[in-house]
Structure 1
Amino acid sequence: MANPGRLRGRPAHTPGPTYLSYTPNGRHLVTVGLNNAIRIFQSGSDSEPTNIDNCQESNFAVAAANGFFITGSEDGTVSKYSMQSNTLEEVLVRCTLPVRDVALSPDHQWVAVASDELVVKVVNTEDMTRVLYLREQSKGSKHVSFDPSGTCLAVSCSDGIIYIYSMSSEEPQLVKKVDGVVKSFETDSESSAAVLWHPDGRAFAAPTGTRDIQVVSQEDWANQKVFSNGHTGNITALAWSPNGAFLATSGADRKLILWDALKQTVAHVYDDIPATILALKWHPGENILSYTTNEGELFIRPNFVPSELSFALREGIKPAPLLHDTLGGAKQNGINGTKPNAGPPRRRDGTPDTLDEIMGSDLGSDLGSDVGSLNGFIDDDDGAGYTEGLNGHGKRTNSHLDPVDTNRPKKRYGGYGGYGGFEIQHHEAFQPGSTSWRGNRRYLCLNLIGFIWTVDQGTHNTVTVEFYDREFHRDFHFTDPFLYDKACLTEHGALFACPPSATQPSTIHYRPHETWTARTDWRTPLPAGEHVTSIALSDAYVVATTSDHYVRIYSLFGVPLRVYKQKSSPAVTCAAWRNYVMTIGNGPPRADGFCSLLYSIENVKRDEVCQMEDIVAVDEHAKLQSVFFSDSGDPCIYTSNGLLLTLLHWRLPNQARWTPLLDTTHLPRLASGLKDETYWPVAVAHEKFHCIILKGGERSPYFPRPLLSEFEFSVPLSTRPKAKTAGGADGEEEPDVDEAAHLEQQFVKNSILLSLLDDMLSATRATSSQRAELGRRENEVDKAVLQLVAVECRTGEERGMKALELAGLLRDRSGRMMEAAEKIAGRYGRDGLGERIRGLTERRLVGWEEEEG
């Protein structure tokens, strides 16, 4: 037991509801109650508290900053008191009905007031005339709570609904009504319905009607993990530890429970509670929990977290207990929060005993100047001198070390092995078209055929496959005990893969949509210890990259066709189209410490390698977001900085190059600067980029299923400046500038598409329609060139050399396009240009005849 014996309470107020608040620096503790006095206790001192008398009676709420504190009373008065002079500074606002709760924003500039009125008031603490009104509640409110960033305010209303307001604009906006978490209640009830934001700001906890504590994600307001089976009475108060490692709760059953927040399990139960606890507060920097009861007493419980668990308080901010949380998973699976196979964490050079190692990487910055109070956590119980020489920040000085040799070269530790003087960072594996978990659901696949999504049901998942064209294929739905985390969808079938578990290996599952025999699903387990990192599906092959750096290729009936080691590893992702397979992996490190991405493309049917370990053109500060083949079979990538690129001449070894098709950051819809949106890549088809528009800082699509948008290709060329016309002033735009820019765009774009089409027809047996399409594309390129020639001719004789150069770009071998260029020159009276174009035509015709001969 951490605290044997009965803890003695301090009479703070007359018997009745009593509440408390710590100042952020932890130096003072303020209590309020039914009498007309406020008491201020000094932390770590047994001396008598400071009293502020002649206050409003029956104060039901208090919130403290370092320099002042706010109280709310039954008569509706909200008052501000000075912490230095211990006097009333001003009455901030008055309500017509009793005040039930007050909450200060993180910057202490605003105080939110919950009362029996329908309206919640948010008052500026420096200027009482500045008041915001939250009017969406249908009944009185009992609790208010700002999130750690101060951008969200949660209001717990007596109708059983939590109202979430955005406070980032001048007028608060209701963003969500969270129903079904807290129960309906009377505002004067001792039961709590408070929203308690986790210190990392990504979720909040709230007591439920079933006497559990439900965690709710701030990202999508979905229910997450639950703290259950702790209390037998209604929950009356709750509080996160300063770093979110623990949760303390109290109930009408007179139990005080310490929860392990990571596991959602009871770590310790204190059953020596003499009365119902109404308020719980952790000391901001020490292992102390203080609470007040409905009998007017204050209890200060030192060493609240048992000694065998108290080390967790000295670590940095812990992740909120969310379902499928990658941050939380890293904390569980790695060491000190690092991901598996990520190598040792970064260390600061020249400091053998860093603050990060003693107290966690984040705690020092969180506690500021008061972090020295954590020294009490370091026990020198065996006299070995652990605490000797500790400075004010709880760490040893360097007096026990030899002098530092400044001439000795510094060493830094690498990730997957050190490399020179920097740390190597690998690109993590990902599945194209897949989103991360949000709440209990995620998309496994999104493309132009349809989409696959899964829902976590606790013991199993449920998978739904939906098609855009329901006349061609029927949607289907199935129970998934394998917990598939990757999927692909084509017109012919659906491919799934699951990670290994304690009872089964990692498995690949292919399910065809239709067959002329009985449907032939098949599953293939991988060897023990190996798991799938990415999968791809074409109309001929199934591809999987694995954690053991294998590329495994199967037929659509499960026949293993290829198994080989990927040269660039660890693998990042893969894609497939017809007989072609593209794999991407980590290559040599770049100057910034990140590995280059290398790709390989092979024709499985012919057993030919088209490109081997060539570089993926991703900018230095960008990440590869998706990779896929277009509808015509050309590799495409989309990067996190909004760039769509395709691969030209990829069937010719050593000839491939990445060419931009679209830079979404330069879309006309973003020119005003008013839209905050990004784009989730879906496909390249019909010479357009298909995507999902993400707004408001979203990073991935969510439910309900968003609509697809499409954008025309627009190769990023130069931004033309304002020109100066011959007789005009600066800033007047040359009339032909916009037209020339448009035509240049058409010329470059159509040249790229022509090159892609020409490459494909050179490698396949072209049909008559494909040959006709090639001719049409050539005409589009020549049409843009002729129009550019006309623009140059209109501009003046001095632009004739550029017009002649443009004429030389015409592709038509019949000479008709060259004749058209000559006629354009004649129409504008450019006779000299016309003669030179005629001479160019004759030389080209002779050259073509010699080639054919």
Structure 2
Amino acid sequence: MTSEAIRPRGRPAHTPGPTVVTYTPDGRHVITGGSNSAIRIYTVGQDGEPKTIDEGVDGHLGIGATNESFIMGAEDGTVWQYETESGKMEKLLVRCTLPIRDIAISKDKEWVAVASDELTVKIVNIEDMTKVKYLREQTKGTKHVTFDPSGRYVAVSCTDGILYIYSMISEDPELVQRLDGVIRRLEPEDESTSRIVWHPDGTAFASAEATRDISIFSTTEWKKSKAFSGGHNGNITALGWSPNGALLATAGADGQILLWETKNQSVLRRYDFSNVINLAWHPTNNSVSFTTSDGELFIYDDFVPREHQPLLQKPLQAAPIFPGALTEISENVTRPLTNRPKDTAASRARGRSPDSLDDILGSDDNMEDFVDDDDGAGYAEGILGKRTNEHLDELEGHADKRVFSGEWRPKVHRPLQPGSTPWRGNRRYLCLNLTGSVWTVDQETHNTVTVEFYDRELHRDFHFTDPYLYDRACLNEHGTLFSNNPSDGSPSMIFYRPHETWTTRADWRTQLPPGESIRALALSDSYIVAVTTKDYVRVYTLFGTPYMVYRQKSPAITCAAWRDYIMTVGNGPLGSDGKATLRYSVDNVKRDEICQNEDVIAIPEGAELQSVFFSDRGDPCVYDSEGVLLVLQHWRNPGQGRWVPLLDTKQLERLAGGRKEESYWPVAVAQDKFHCIILKGGDKYPYFPRPLLSEFDFEIPISDAQHKESKEDRDGSAARNDGVRLEEAFVRENVLLSLFQDLLASTNATSSQRAELARKELEVDKILLQLLAVECREGEERGMKALELVQMMKDRNGKMVEAAAKVAERYGRGILEDKIRELAENRFTGELEDDDELA
């Protein structure tokens, strides 16, 4: 007997009526609720009696679970949290005045969304129930609520047939889409579903239509892309994706559960089960659990037939919203030889070889040790999944990684185009910054490019067909820059398109000499820069005039530009770990001056460069794979450049205690803040739809104490913690002051800039004054450090030193007060002597 022939038996779990079911994320338990007060906890793999909880609350209509606890929403408007192992009722999370209809838990397990017959959806923090966010745009009660896999969005299905999509990136949820015609108009008690279920890759969701089809909507354009048609003869009551997104299970009022293949939207198997109203896939096993309106639970092991189980064993699959075959988007799984990419014109133009690369990957079992993502930036994704353009040029060092030679090879850093992402599915970003984004879609024979702006009042978005297959782009307020690297023998090309012009046509193209490809591009207000495989740095004006060509001493991998300055980065001598060090140079093109020449970028051993850019004030910045943002101090003075950490994102307070699993995609440094995109759930790159930008204040890593609570703890360390935070502020403000002083020293400072300089100096002195107060509170024995703080004050007019003396007087530090006044007198006398010498 085959495994799929075994039909599961129904397990009486609840009285007839609505039932809900869910797995814990680790797959160890199945939890159900129903119209009676009982809650059942089944242990997966065991046929014994379930653990039963009967706390007297009837009508459980919403359910969600973490590994440690589960949450139930009831008809009486209460939402309770229970401990999974013991079944103990832990706490009441929230109470509504009307019945609860659905519950959803965010991916980070921090928030629970509560849908009820009330007009407002509440999103409650599970650890601290006093923290509540509200979704208020609905005009009718809510039937379903779901979080997307990344935690970026929450979808609200209302009884009037309107679907609301909210962004959860910012502190306050923001409505991003109001969609009509996506879900059905249903009453709260209807057994039919209007729930949308997000595809595991987050790029699409499925919803049940009144026509009994299942539609797939892309989250890029929020439009219908595909449909699963001709399956059910009754209304859809439940649906769910397999964990890898390759399969879809749906249940209908026609008494059938259907198993669909996602790739071609075809029915693989039909199962006869009546009255199914909820279903859930096991997180890892070939098993599906579902409940019926009769109050029964079915646990169907070996749900996917044996001949189709390879689909379930695949890595995460892309949603069926793109033309062509379903594309694997796993970052660590080798593509089988039977799934080679199509030999299309677009693939040939990108340098795909239908045979050679697959033969290499399949030629040696140990190849996995060589083709790895050792740079942490998607190189393996490019080779083992859909490859990125910048990784397939014939660049020095990369052939060594592709071909196993049995001998040691030095590791070099890959070319890097700041702001771009690898292919995922058939889409990628060519550029992401504070101005907007440039993204491209593979259409097999050509690409389509879209340029979007944040400020649509200043610039209009535009879209064009791209037969040249551009693989790099830069964007600023003045124009958009593109380049390509054809592999069919055609020369590489640079294309610049200004946003505004007073002539008929101002865009231009230029071709590079034969055999020379582009590694990276940069665009400033004054110049265009390209670093190439010949190690040339090519500089053009904005109207296409070649301005400068020179050869980089180190093989260049990336570049950045700001006004008249360009920064190039290349592979230098090998370090102790066998990997090439990174060397950078900063040049003033207009003056033909070298500010910094072949100096080292301070990246720690084992880390990788993730991005390089100039801040809005023109200071070079880099961001590494360790999550550290560095700025180059004193870079205008040759030989004086020094890399200073402005922020270590791994030490952000929001990550304390492992509360969040997230990383950050660097975008810009502007207005003394770090602008980035928050990546959740282990994502390495932003994806579609375009994510919202977040910003963080600078925080120079000084001490662990700066991340502790400011309230006094058991050992009375509040004052010391305040002191550490002030010390961090002192170091940070000194760095920012130094950068601003260097800027003013190299330009003709305006009166407003000089005033800002004075304000910054005063701010540093104020921090020192606050530190002085902390030291005075600590006692007389800290007097020497207190006096040192006063000595560090810049204090142009003596007012801050006088204030310091008053602080010492206030805390009764007489000796310190005398020392401060003596210091003030000596400083004043010294200034008079200096004036006499100058006279």
| CA offsets 1:175-215 (integer angstroms, 9 cap, x no match) | x9986732247628999994634977354899x9xxx9943
- Higher relative contact order structure (alpha carbons within 8 Å, sequence separation ≥ 6): 2
Match of 2:408 among 405, 414, 419: 414
Q: Which consecutive residues of structure 1, in runs of 5 or more, have no partner in the other structure? A: 1-31, 33-60, 63-70, 79-90, 95-106, 112-120, 140-145, 148-154, 221-241, 247-259, 266-308, 348-412, 416-423, 724-728
- Residues 654/127 of structure 1: CA separation in 2 closer, same or farther (3 Å cut): farther
Query: Where does residue 802 of structure 1 map in the other structure?
Result: 785
> Any idea what SS the aligned residue of 2:809 has?
helix
- Residues 520/777 of structure 1: CA separation in 2 closer, same or farther (3 Å cut): same
User: 8 Å contact 2:706–2:724 — kept in the other structure?
Assistant: no
| CA offsets 1:143-187 (integer angstroms, 9 cap, x no match) | xxx99xxxxxxx99994999424499xxx999x998673224762
- Residues 425/709 of structure 1: CA separation in 2 closer, same or farther (3 Å cut): same
TM-score (norm 2): 0.60
Match of 2:693 among 680, 698, 708: 708
Q: Distance in 2 between matches of 1:173 and 1:666?
A: 44
Q: Distance in 1 between matches of 2:662 and 2:229?
A: 33
- CA displacement at 1:492 relative to structure 2: 0.8
User: 8 Å contact 1:431–1:535 — kept in the other structure?
Assistant: yes
Q: Which amino acid aligns with 1:734?
A: S
User: 8 Å contact 2:239–2:250 — kept in the other structure?
Assistant: no
1:369-518 equivalences in 2 (<5 Å):
413-415=407-409, 424-502=410-488, 504-518=490-504
Residue 326 in structure 1 maps to residue 383 in structure 2: yes
Query: Where does residue 621 of structure 2 map in the other structure?
Result: 636
Residue 791 in structure 1 maps to residue 724 in structure 2: no
- CA displacement at 1:846 relative to structure 2: 3.3
User: 8 Å contact 1:582–1:601 — kept in the other structure?
Assistant: yes
Query: Where does residue 215 of structure 1 map in the other structure?
Result: 326
Residue 771 in structure 1 maps to residue 754 in structure 2: yes
Q: Distance in 1 between matches of 2:335 and 2:271?
A: 29
- Residues 312/617 of structure 1: CA separation in 2 closer, same or farther (3 Å cut): closer
- Residues 566/188 of structure 1: CA separation in 2 closer, same or farther (3 Å cut): same
Q: Distance in 1 between matches of 2:334 and 2:570?
A: 37
- Residues 324/827 of structure 1: CA separation in 2 closer, same or farther (3 Å cut): closer
- Residues 264/532 of structure 1: CA separation in 2 closer, same or farther (3 Å cut): closer
- CA displacement at 1:652 relative to structure 2: 0.5
1:81-480 equivalences in 2 (<5 Å):
124-125=44-45, 159=231, 163-166=240-243, 181-184=264-267, 187=270, 194=308, 196-197=310-311, 201-203=315-317, 214-217=325-328, 245-246=336-337, 260-262=338-340, 325-327=382-384, 339-342=398-401, 345=404, 347=406, 413-415=407-409, 424-480=410-466
Residue 560 in structure 1 maps to residue 554 in structure 2: no
| CA offsets 1:493-552 (integer angstroms, 9 cap, x no match) | 111111123163111111111122223111111111111110000000000011111111
User: 8 Å contact 2:610–2:624 — kept in the other structure?
Assistant: yes
Q: Distance in 2 between matches of 1:675 and 1:196?
A: 33
Residue 72 in structure 1 maps to residue 8 in structure 2: no
Residue 659 in structure 1 maps to residue 644 in structure 2: yes
> Any idea what SS the aligned residue of 2:766 has?
helix
Superposed CA RMSD: 4.6
User: 8 Å contact 1:450–1:467 — kept in the other structure?
Assistant: yes
Q: Distance in 2 between matches of 1:813 and 1:742?
A: 25
> Any idea what SS the aligned residue of 2:326 has?
strand
- CA displacement at 1:346 relative to structure 2: 6.5
Q: Distance in 2 between matches of 1:654 and 1:317?
A: 43
- CA displacement at 1:849 relative to structure 2: 3.7
Query: Where does residue 585 of structure 2 map in the other structure?
Result: 600
User: 8 Å contact 2:520–2:559 — kept in the other structure?
Assistant: yes
Query: Where does residue 816 of structure 1 map in the other structure?
Result: 799
> Any idea what SS the aligned residue of 2:705 has?
coil
Q: Which consecutive residues of structure 2, in runs of 5 or more, have no partner in the other structure? A: 14-25, 31-40, 52-62, 66-101, 103-143, 145-190, 194-199, 202-213, 215-227, 233-237, 252-258, 273-303, 344-358, 372-378
Query: Where does residue 255 of structure 1 map in the other structure?
Result: none
> Any idea what SS the aligned residue of 1:484 has?
coil
- Residues 315/344 of structure 1: CA separation in 2 closer, same or farther (3 Å cut): closer
TM-score (norm 1): 0.60
Q: Which amino acid aligns with 2:408?
A: G
> Any idea what SS the aligned residue of 1:671 has?
helix
- Residues 679/109 of structure 1: CA separation in 2 closer, same or farther (3 Å cut): closer
- Residues 177/814 of structure 1: CA separation in 2 closer, same or farther (3 Å cut): farther
User: 8 Å contact 2:611–2:622 — kept in the other structure?
Assistant: yes
| CA offsets 1:355-393 (integer angstroms, 9 cap, x no match) | xxxxxxxxxxxxxxxxxxxxxxxxxxxxxxxxxxxxxxx
- Residues 730/187 of structure 1: CA separation in 2 closer, same or farther (3 Å cut): closer
- CA displacement at 1:123 relative to structure 2: 8.4
> Any idea what SS the aligned residue of 2:829 has?
helix
Aligned residues: 570
| CA offsets 1:89-137 (integer angstroms, 9 cap, x no match) | xx9999xxxxxxxxxxxx99999xxxxxxxxx99844666689999999
Larger radius of gyration: 1
Residue 574 in structure 1 maps to residue 548 in structure 2: no
Match of 1:717 among 702, 705, 708: 702
| CA offsets 1:246-296 (integer angstroms, 9 cap, x no match) | 5xxxxxxxxxxxxx432569xxxxxxxxxxxxxxxxxxxxxxxxxxxxxxx
> Any idea what SS the aligned residue of 1:782 has?
helix
Query: Where does residue 116 of structure 2 map in the other structure?
Result: none
Query: Where does residue 78 of structure 2 map in the other structure?
Result: none
User: 8 Å contact 1:198–1:205 — kept in the other structure?
Assistant: no
> Any idea what SS the aligned residue of 1:599 has?
strand
| CA offsets 1:555-582 (integer angstroms, 9 cap, x no match) | 111111111111111x221100000000
Residue 676 in structure 1 maps to residue 635 in structure 2: no
1:515-534 equivalences in 2 (<5 Å):
515-534=501-520
Q: Distance in 1 between matches of 2:584 and 2:499?
A: 31
1:726-805 equivalences in 2 (<5 Å):
731-805=714-788
> Any idea what SS the aligned residue of 2:602 has?
coil
| CA offsets 1:449-496 (integer angstroms, 9 cap, x no match) | 111111111111111111111111111111111111111111111111
User: 8 Å contact 1:138–1:159 — kept in the other structure?
Assistant: no
- Residues 313/203 of structure 1: CA separation in 2 closer, same or farther (3 Å cut): farther
1:586-625 equivalences in 2 (<5 Å):
586-625=571-610
Query: Where does residue 687 of structure 1 map in the other structure?
Result: 672
> Any idea what SS the aligned residue of 1:552 has?
strand
Percent of paired sites with the same residue: 48
Q: Distance in 1 between matches of 2:380 and 2:469?
A: 14
Q: Distance in 1 between matches of 2:456 and 2:673?
A: 23
User: 8 Å contact 2:360–2:402 — kept in the other structure?
Assistant: no
Q: Distance in 2 between matches of 1:684 and 1:213?
A: 39
- Residues 670/797 of structure 1: CA separation in 2 closer, same or farther (3 Å cut): same
User: 8 Å contact 1:488–1:535 — kept in the other structure?
Assistant: yes
- CA displacement at 1:795 relative to structure 2: 1.8
Q: Distance in 2 between matches of 1:494 and 1:329?
A: 25
> Any idea what SS the aligned residue of 1:681 has?
strand
User: 8 Å contact 1:77–1:93 — kept in the other structure?
Assistant: no
> Any idea what SS the aligned residue of 2:695 has?
strand
User: 8 Å contact 1:444–1:485 — kept in the other structure?
Assistant: yes
